[in-house]
Amino acid sequence: MEFKNPQCPFYGFSVLWRVQDKSKNPNNCALKMDLCGKIEQGKNPDWERCCANTKEFNEDLKELLNRVRVYSTELFDKGGVSLEYWIDYVMKPIKQV
């Protein structure tokens, strides 16, 4: 399967008060506000295998899905998108034709 982005919706971002903004450091993790742990291990970002991807975190995340805005260069013309939209965008594979 091929994906548009690294397989983590928080990879490459820094967080500024309810806004997830594309970071100047492309290896940042928005949750750690520091270098992605998978990158530190020499692996690709992978939300499914991330230590931050817990049941408790995902419960908290549900409350933020439509309150947090994501601003990324590839969706810049949209004026930011909801975190829910971004997660779907990042985690869906490219459709095979």
What's the pLDDT at 59?
Answer: 93
Task: Tokens 């548009």: give the residue.
Answer: 4
Q: Shortest CA distance to 39 belongs to which of 53, 54, 50, 24?
A: 50
What's the pLDDT at 28?
Answer: 81
What's the pLDDT at 54?
Answer: 93
Phi-psi region for residue 74, left (φ > 0), alpha (ψ -120 to 50) or beta?
A: alpha
What's the pLDDT at 39?
Answer: 82
Give the whole-angstrom CA distance, residue 27 versus residue 75. 19
**Strand ranges for the chain from DSSP E:** 13-16, 19-22, 28-29, 34-35, 69-71, 81-82
Give the whole-angstrom CA distance, residue 72 versus residue 66. 16
**Amino acid identity, residue 56?**
E
Query: What average pLDDT values come out for the chain (97 residues) when binned by 10 residues?
Result: 72 66 71 80 88 91 87 73 88 66
Q: How far is CA 73 from the centre of its chain?
A: 13
